[in-house]
Structure 1
Amino acid sequence: MSTAITPFPIHISQASLDGLQERLDRIRWPDPGTVQDGSQGPRHERIEALVAAWRGEYDWRRTEAMLNAWGSSRTIVDGLGIQFLHIRSPEAGAAPLLLTHGWPGSILEFRDVIGPLSDPRRHGGAPSDAFHLVIPSLPGFGFSDKPAEPGWGVGRTARAFAELMQRLGYGAGWFAQGGDWGAAITTALAHMRAPGLAGIHLNMVMFSATEEEIGNATPAERRMLDDAERYNREFSGYMKLQCTRPQSLAFALADSPVGLASWIYALFQDVTDSSGHPESVIALDHLIDDIMLYWLPNAGPSSARFYWEAAQEMAKGMPSSPIALPAGISMFPGEQVRLSRRWAEKRFEDLRFFEEADRGGHFAAMENPSVFAAHVRSAFRTMRGQPAV
């Protein structure tokens, strides 16, 4: 099978865009519900406003051109087509950096940090902090292929992305960063000691506190535990459904753009640092762009199945030993699953960087891109020049 890297210009047919418009013109709305807050899910008026913008001033062609300008490419790894952005820095000493998104995010999570990370000289930074960026769409997400067989979970995706970095010529001294599923994949890369990987940075750490940690929690750590419990109790219904019966949801996500949009919007509402108003921290057009990367390639169903795949992996047992590679961690206050530095030090043997941001939540690169970029630069500054595995 070919290992070639090929350009993958995105061009959605006008018929597809017209078909979406027709669906948005004949929505059957639900009733508003019985509460006036977001405790039952997205509020009616919020989705109405989103759809009004979607039908009106939103311009997909602008986003399409932006993605193509960032070097949209494709290659086949382990039998599956992976679409990715490849942005090479103008700086000769730039280090390769793999940025991995999660759900319901996309490669556009990183849109506002692409410039600062790849060309810091133009964005008030030091040229020595520059990165060549590789930003792939997860299997079944965006314009990557949809797996036709089970098995494409965290581990297999991590191996595919490690192969992608090798295939791009980044054989040594590359770094990886992620949040959400991107954090799980980045952590898996570190556990498997992917060839050439020199260090990682996470803006979310998937972990469970031990009984000892719970019993000895400081007041700040107790707030972290309370937030994690609230997430599990109030916000995690989407995860439980997608881990167990994703195909029950698939038909609605494939058939209804408004159903897809509200399903995605719900998590932006619940886990951004926005008091339930994600539009206050993320531009509405950016939210719609994200939804479009699920609607246009019909990736709502296949992306939901990633949770089912990961649940099968977790049932068999995932690596849990401390990570030996150099690591950096950023904690954003609106992230529901957080850990303290002392908890992190037990799980990362070589923790080079640990910082807490002043604002931002689960979608850190979208909510607070300047601090996200600064943390990534600072974290990997401590690792540059380290020998690769």
Structure 2
Amino acid sequence: MSTPVPFTLSVPDSALADLRARLALTRFPDQVFEPWEMGSDLGFMQRLTAYWRDGFDWRAAEARLNALPQFRVRLDGFDQHFIRVEGQGPSPVPLLLVHGWPGSVLEFLDIIPRLTDPGRFGGDPADAVTVIAPSLPGYTLSFQPGQARFGVEEMAGTLARLMTEVLGYDRFAAQGGDWGSFVTSRIAYEHPDRMIGLHLNMVPIRRDPTLAETATAEERAYAEALTVFLKEETGYQWIQGTRPLTLAYGLTDSPAGLAAWIIEKFQRWADCGGDPLSVFSMDQLLANVSLYWFTGSIGSSFHPYHARMHRPWPIPDGGPITVPTGYAAFPTEIVRPPRSLAARTYRDIRRWTVMERGGHFAAMEQPEALAREILAFLRPLRA
């Protein structure tokens, strides 16, 4: 087994110059509809592109990431990147913290210190956890051109090995949203003896076509909302899941195209009232897009969608998952199943909290609230 080696991100100056040159040559489409009605808004994209070219400081974003201990380790045929921050408390629990698409480990910059050093934020040092936050295999800093493509099953296997074989944890907790919720749930399914607890801010359960026959009012409302989501919000899944390479040509070549593809999801899925800048700064949005751009990983990041469309559901037979589970239900999460349906898969739900504000990118949108919820869930599970 390989030994992790320290990692520092340093994008070459030539790559920054190339990005600015491409942005200066951006060709914009016309727009005849209302802002955001048919996708990323033209006026917003023009402002964002101009700022990306002339105002955004990538070196500041890079330095903020490099302020955290980062490592790479050769694992399953590629160099797996991860952040590891020791908990500042008497007995920190190891916590695997997993992002999704179109996010990255940059989502966790504000929540990591709240998890690893709660005493600094007015909490109890006894709640501290040690955070291990990997870049998903095939995503950003865990991507190298030509490497094998991984679906949820392979990602779960790699990250389980990272925690147990590489880092030597006998037992650990895990937290995830988006693909991170699938990956951590798969680990819980395959390795329940290794898991202290599983915390989610998105619950991945299969759609049940027979639900209407016995559904409660709450379950019917969820089914109706899911139907709308599948009709109106999943176009990206179909192209990423069926012809990912065709899309990757444009997004790997055009930084403005990449930004439009990614930032539209932040606008649609965050609890932002339609204005992403009411929740995120331009710098936060562009740091995430830039990380995809500089690593050239957008095409590889599509693969879990292709695997999902061409394989069985990644939690076989819908579970059961017996690991103690907690859920933070943010109001604008893209899918929000009721507890009665979640309990069919997650058989030991210990905590189910309806959150006041926040959406799909909870760690970025509401880092304090999510950190507090994760630590409260883990508190009674500590040995």
TM-score bracket, normalised by the shorter chain, equals over 0.9
C-alpha contact 2:90 2:125 (8 A) present in aligned 1: no
Structure 1 residues 194 and 292, CA, compared in 2 at 3 Å: closer, same or farther? farther
- 2:22 is matched with 23
Quote the offset at 1:209 in angstroms: 4.5
C-alpha contact 1:109 1:365 (8 A) present in aligned 2: yes
- 1:188 is matched with 186
Q: 1:279 aligns with which of 263, 267, 277?
A: 277
Determine the C-alpha separation between the residues in 2 that align with 1:162 and 1:316.
15
Determine the C-alpha separation between the residues in 2 that align with 1:154 and 1:147.
20
Quote the offset at 1:294 in angstroms: 0.4
1:3 equivalent to 2:2? Answer: yes
C-alpha contact 1:201 1:327 (8 A) present in aligned 2: yes
C-alpha contact 2:138 2:149 (8 A) present in aligned 1: no
- 1:241 is matched with 239
Question: Which residue identity is paired with 2:14?
Answer: A
Question: Which residue identity is paired with 1:47?
Answer: M
1:350 equivalent to 2:334? Answer: no
- 2:70 is matched with 72
Q: 2:156 aligns with which of 155, 158, 164?
A: 158
Q: Secondary structure at the match of 2:141?
A: coil
Structure 1 residues 150 and 6, CA, compared in 2 at 3 Å: closer, same or farther? closer
Map Cα deviations across residues 328-376 of structure 1 (whole Å, 9 max, x no partner).
Answer: 1111110121111222222212111111111111111111112111111
Determine the C-alpha separation between the residues in 1 that align with 2:27 and 2:65.
32
Structure 1 residues 319 and 193, CA, compared in 2 at 3 Å: closer, same or farther? farther
Q: Secondary structure at the match of 2:343?
A: helix
Quote the offset at 1:275 in angstroms: 2.6
Quote the offset at 1:324 in angstroms: 0.8
Q: Secondary structure at the match of 1:104?
A: coil
Map Cα deviations across residues 239-296 of structure 1 (whole Å, 9 max, x no partner).
Answer: 1110111001010011000000000011112111223222211222111111011001
> 1:49-64 to 2 correspondence within 5 Å?
49-64=47-62
Map Cα deviations across residues 160-215 of structure 1 (whole Å, 9 max, x no partner).
Answer: 10111124534223100101000000010011016622211011111135356434
- 1:13 is matched with 12
Count of aligned positions: 383
Structure 1 residues 101 and 303, CA, compared in 2 at 3 Å: closer, same or farther? same
Q: 1:364 aligns with which of 362, 368, 371?
A: 362
Quote the offset at 1:64 in angstroms: 1.1
Question: Which residue identity is paired with 1:6?
Answer: V
Structure 1 residues 146 and 153, CA, compared in 2 at 3 Å: closer, same or farther? farther
Determine the C-alpha separation between the residues in 1 that align with 2:360 and 2:315.
25
Question: Which residue identity is paired with 1:249?
Answer: L
Q: Secondary structure at the match of 1:379?
A: helix
C-alpha contact 1:80 1:147 (8 A) present in aligned 2: no
Question: Which residue identity is paired with 1:342?
Answer: S
Q: Secondary structure at the match of 1:73?
A: strand
Determine the C-alpha separation between the residues in 2 that align with 1:185 and 1:99.
10
Tell me the TM-score normalized by structure 2: 0.95
C-alpha contact 1:139 1:146 (8 A) present in aligned 2: no
Quote the offset at 1:92 in angstroms: 3.2
C-alpha contact 2:189 2:315 (8 A) present in aligned 1: no
C-alpha contact 1:281 1:367 (8 A) present in aligned 2: yes
Unaligned runs of 5+ in 2: none
Structure 1 residues 212 and 254, CA, compared in 2 at 3 Å: closer, same or farther? closer
> 1:206-225 to 2 correspondence within 5 Å?
206-211=204-209, 213-225=211-223
Structure 1 residues 346 and 337, CA, compared in 2 at 3 Å: closer, same or farther? same
Quote the offset at 1:94 in angstroms: 0.6
Determine the C-alpha separation between the residues in 2 that align with 1:217 and 1:111.
40
C-alpha contact 1:151 1:309 (8 A) present in aligned 2: no
Map Cα deviations across residues 5-38 of structure 1 (whole Å, 9 max, x no partner).
Answer: 0011110111110110111111111112x31132
Determine the C-alpha separation between the residues in 2 that align with 1:284 and 1:144.
25
Quote the offset at 1:102 in angstroms: 0.5
> 1:1-389 to 2 correspondence within 5 Å?
3-32=2-31, 34-146=32-144, 148=146, 152-193=150-191, 196-211=194-209, 213-314=211-312, 318-385=316-383
C-alpha contact 2:192 2:322 (8 A) present in aligned 1: no
Determine the C-alpha separation between the residues in 1 that align with 2:35 and 2:371.
33
Quote the offset at 1:225 in angstroms: 2.5
C-alpha contact 2:251 2:257 (8 A) present in aligned 1: yes
Identity of aligned residues (%): 37
Tell me the TM-score normalized by structure 1: 0.93
Question: Which residue identity is paired with 2:79?
Answer: G
Map Cα deviations across residues 214-246 of structure 1 (whole Å, 9 max, x no partner).
Answer: 345444444333322222111110111101110
Q: Secondary structure at the match of 1:143?
A: helix
Q: Secondary structure at the match of 1:24?
A: helix
